[in-house]
A and B are shown apart, each in its own frame.
Chain A
Amino acid sequence: MSSISLRQIKKSFGALTILHSVDMEIDKGEFIVILGPSGCGKSTLLNVIAGLDACDEGQIVIEGKDVSGLEPSERGLAMVFQSYALFPAMTVRRNLSFGMEIAGTPKATVVEKVAWVAKLLQIEALLDRKPAQLSGGQRQRVAIGRALVRSSSICLFDEPLSNLDAKLRAETRVELKQLHETLGSTMIYVTHDQIEAMTMADRVAVMHKGKVEQFAHPQSIYEKPASLFVAGFVGSPAMNFIDGRLDGSGRFLTGDIAIGTDAYAFEERQPSGEIVLGIRCEDVTVVDRGAPESIPASLAFTELLGADALGWFDCLGKRLSVRLGIKAARSMRKEVGLRFDMSKASLFSRASERRL
C-alpha cells in the first residue's frame, strides 16, 4: 500500500495555474525529492500535501485516508522549513516540546522524546539556548528535531538546506540520508539543487511549469531523461544538444553529417522528422580528425577540474563539452574529431520535446 497518493491535484492562484494535474504514488519509507527550477510549483505542491494551501481539485490520500479536507495538524505530517521557522522566544527544549504540549502529550513522554531526538541529532548541549544564539546549521538541526518529535511517519522538507553554506550543506545532506535510513519514515523533499536530488532520493520527481515531467530513480533520470527539459536541467555541465532530423533509414542528419542510430533504443517505432540529439559530456570520445563515424570539431578551451577536465569544442556551430582525462586535456590538439556513444545518447522530438 502506498503511503501517500496524489490524484490529479490542480491549483491556481487567480488566472495563474501553478499545478496542472499532478499524480504521484509514494511508497512507505521512500525518500522522494521534488526537483525543479524556482517557480515550477514544487513548493506549492508540498504546501498542498501539508494542507497549508488548499488544492482546487484532486485528492490527497495519506495511508489510505483521504485528508484533502483536513487541517495541516490533523494530517499526521511533520514539516521542516527553509527559514527554519523556530519559535523565537522559546528555548530549544521548548521549541521541541511545545507542539506535544499543545497536543496534550503526557509530560513523561514529552521529556523522553525530547531526550531521544536531542541525542539523535546531537543537540543535547543546545537545549537551553534560544534560537538567536544558534548558528544556521544548529537551527536546522533543531527544526528537523521539531519535525521528528511529531512522531509522524511522513516528513516534508521545503528546501531545508538552501540557507546553509556549501560545506555544511554537504554534511547535513549525508546526515539526513542516514537519518532516513535509521528512521525508515517516508520523506518528501523539495529542492532546486540537483546534487541533493541525485544523492539522497530513492525517486526524483522533476517538475516544470506545474507538471511532473519525470518521476523515476535518479540514475534513470540522468541516463534516460524523459523530456528535453529534464535533460537540460539535470547534470552539470548541461547535456549537449544538437538539432537535426531523422531520415527514412534511421540516420541522424545535421548539416552535412550523418550519424547512424542503430545503437539507440527507440521507445517509439518509426520516428522521423525534426529531432534534437542530446549527449552527455562523458559519452563523447575524442578521435583523430576524419576517423569513421566522427564529427570534425576544434578545441576552444579546456577547464581543469582537479579529478578530471572538461574540453569545450566548437562543432556544428555549437559549443560542446567533453569530459577528458587530465593528461589528455593537457596534450589536446586543436583540430580533432568527436565520436558519440549513441547507445547512451537521448533523442527528443523537436515538436513534443519528449524522448523518442
Chain B
Amino acid sequence: MSTWLKRQGFKPDITVAAFFAVVAIFFYGSILWTFYMSLTRSTLIPKYEIVGFDQYFDLFTNQRWLVSCLNMVIFGVFYMVGTLAFGTLLAVLADRRIKAESFFRTIFLYPLAVSLIITGLSWRWLLDPTTGLQALIRGIGWETFTFDWLTRPDRAIYTLVIAGIWHSAGLVMVIVLAGLRGIDNDLWKAIRMEGIPLWRAYCQVIFPGMRPVIASCVVLLMSEVIRGYDLIIAMTKGGPGISTEMPAKFAVDFYFARVNLGLASAASIMMLALSLIMLMPYFYSEFRRRS
C-alpha cells in the first residue's frame, strides 16, 4: 500500500490542500462575500450593484445598533472582569489543597458542559419575578423582597452578566489552576522565606508571572462576548424593549427577520473589525515576544 502510494507520487500537500480549500472558501470566501454584500443595497436577495459605504452610515445612525454596541461593552466589561475574578478566586482556593478538590472542580466546571440555551432558560426561570427567586423568598415570608432585574430595562443586561459568569467561571478556574500548578515549587519556598503575605504573593508575584495564561482566558472570554447570541435569545430575547440587544443578535435579526442583507452584512463586518481591534494587544504582545 505504502509503496503504491509512493509510486503515485502521493504527497501530504494534497491532503492539506483540501483543508486549506475549505478554510479559504468557507471562512475567508464568506468574509469577502459578506463584505461585498455590505457595499450593496441587498434586501432578501443579493443585489450586486455597489453603492459604497451607505449601509455603514445607516448602521451608525441606527439607534438599535448603537444600543447593541453599548450593551456589548457593558456586558463585556462586567462579564470579563467578573468571570476572571471569580474563576481566579476559585482556582486559588482549589490550589490551596482543599479537601475534595476534584469534587469542587467538577461542580464548577459543570456549567460549561451545559449549552448556553439551557443556561439562559434556567436563569430566566430562576430570575423571573413571578416564578423564580423572588417568588420563592416572598413565599417563605419576606413579603417585600424584590429582585426583578430581568424585567427592568435598566438592569436586565446585568442578569445576562450573572448567567454568563456562572457559565464561564469554571473554564477560567481550570485554565488558571493549570497555570498555578505549573508554578515552580522553589518560588513558593522563596515566598515563604521572605515572609510575603499570601494575597501579596498572588497579586504581586504569582499572577504577574502568569501573563500568558491570563491572556488566553481574556481572548477566550472576548470571543464569547462578541459572538454572544444564544444566551440572549434564551434569557431576554433582547428585551425588555431593546435593552439587551447585542450586535450578533442585531445581525441575525436583520439577515432573517427583517431581510436587510446589506445592513446585516455591514453589522457583521463591523463585528469582525471589532474582534480584530480587541485582539490587537494580544497579537502585539505575542509578536513582540517572538522578535
- The list of the 6 closest CB pairs from A to B, nearest first, reads A73-B195, A89-B208, A88-B209, A85-B186, A99-B194, A85-B190
**Chain A hits for B47, CB < 8 A:** none
- The answer on a CB contact under 8 Å between A102 and B195 is yes
Check: B279 CB closer than 8 A to any chain A CB. no
Check: A265 CB closer than 8 A to any chain B CB. no
Check: A87 CB closer than 8 A to any chain B CB. yes
The complex places the Cα of A17 from the Cα of B180 at a distance, in Å, of 29
Check: A103 CB closer than 8 A to any chain B CB. yes
Residue of B nearest to A87 (CB): B205
Binary A-proximity of B80-93 (CB < 8 A = 1, otherwise 0): 00000000000000
Given contacts A72-B192, A99-B195, contact A85 B184 (CB under 8 A): yes
The complex places the Cα of A74 from the Cα of B195 at a distance, in Å, of 8
Check: B24 CB closer than 8 A to any chain A CB. no
**Chain A hits for B192, CB < 8 A:** 51-52, 71-73
- The answer on a CB contact under 8 Å between B186 and A89 is no
B246 to chain A, nearest CB (A): 35
B286 to chain A, nearest CB (A): 15
- The answer on a CB contact under 8 Å between A102 and B209 is no
- The answer on a CB contact under 8 Å between A99 and B196 is yes
Check: A347 CB closer than 8 A to any chain B CB. no
**Chain B hits for A82, CB < 8 A:** 186
Check: B197 CB closer than 8 A to any chain A CB. yes
Residue of A nearest to B205 (CB): A87
Check: B258 CB closer than 8 A to any chain A CB. no
- The answer on a CB contact under 8 Å between B194 and A85 is no
The complex places the Cα of A90 from the Cα of B211 at a distance, in Å, of 13
Q: Which B residues from 170 to 208 make CB contacts under 8 A with A?
A: 184, 186-187, 189-190, 192-197, 200, 204-205, 208
**Chain B hits for A77, CB < 8 A:** 193
**Chain A hits for B211, CB < 8 A:** 89
**Chain A hits for B195, CB < 8 A:** 71-74, 99, 102-103
Residue of B nearest to A75 (CB): B193
**Chain A hits for B208, CB < 8 A:** 88-90
- The answer on a CB contact under 8 Å between A72 and B193 is yes
Residue of A nearest to B194 (CB): A99
The complex places the Cα of A134 from the Cα of B18 at a distance, in Å, of 45
- The answer on a CB contact under 8 Å between B190 and A102 is no
Residue of B nearest to A77 (CB): B193
Check: A78 CB closer than 8 A to any chain B CB. yes
Q: Please report the total number of A residues contacting B with Cβ < 8 Å.
A: 28
**Chain A hits for B184, CB < 8 A:** 83, 85
**Chain B hits for A99, CB < 8 A:** 194-196
Check: A50 CB closer than 8 A to any chain B CB. yes
Given contacts A72-B192, A73-B193, contact A81 B209 (CB under 8 A): no
A positions within 8 Å CB-CB of B: 47, 50-52, 71-74, 77-79, 81-90, 98-99, 102-103, 146, 150, 158
- The answer on a CB contact under 8 Å between A83 and B200 is no
Q: Please report the total number of B residues contacting A with Cβ < 8 Å.
A: 17
The complex places the Cα of A11 from the Cα of B200 at a distance, in Å, of 31
A46 to chain B, nearest CB (A): 10
The complex places the Cα of A77 from the Cα of B193 at a distance, in Å, of 8
Residue in B187, B193, B200, B204 whose CB lies within 8 Å of A79:
B193
Residue of A nearest to B196 (CB): A102
Given contacts A87-B205, A89-B205, contact A102 B186 (CB under 8 A): no
Binary A-proximity of B84-104 (CB < 8 A = 1, otherwise 0): 000000000000000000000
A183 to chain B, nearest CB (A): 18
Binary A-proximity of B103-146 (CB < 8 A = 1, otherwise 0): 00000000000000000000000000000000000000000000
B187 to chain A, nearest CB (A): 5
**Chain A hits for B209, CB < 8 A:** 87-89
The complex places the Cα of A102 from the Cα of B197 at a distance, in Å, of 8
**Chain A hits for B200, CB < 8 A:** 102
Given A73-B195, A87-B205, A90-B204, 16 other A-B contacts at CB below 8 A?
A52-B189, A79-B190, A79-B193, A81-B190, A83-B184, A83-B187, A84-B186, A85-B184, A85-B189, A87-B187, A87-B190, A89-B211, A90-B205, A102-B197, A150-B193, A150-B194
The complex places the Cα of A150 from the Cα of B190 at a distance, in Å, of 12
**Chain B hits for A71, CB < 8 A:** 192, 195
18 A-B pairs with CB atoms under 8 Å apart are A51-B192, A52-B193, A72-B193, A73-B195, A77-B193, A79-B193, A81-B189, A82-B186, A83-B186, A85-B190, A86-B190, A87-B204, A87-B205, A89-B208, A98-B194, A99-B194, A99-B195, A102-B194
Residue of B nearest to A50 (CB): B193
Residue of A nearest to B184 (CB): A83
B218 to chain A, nearest CB (A): 17
B194 to chain A, nearest CB (A): 4
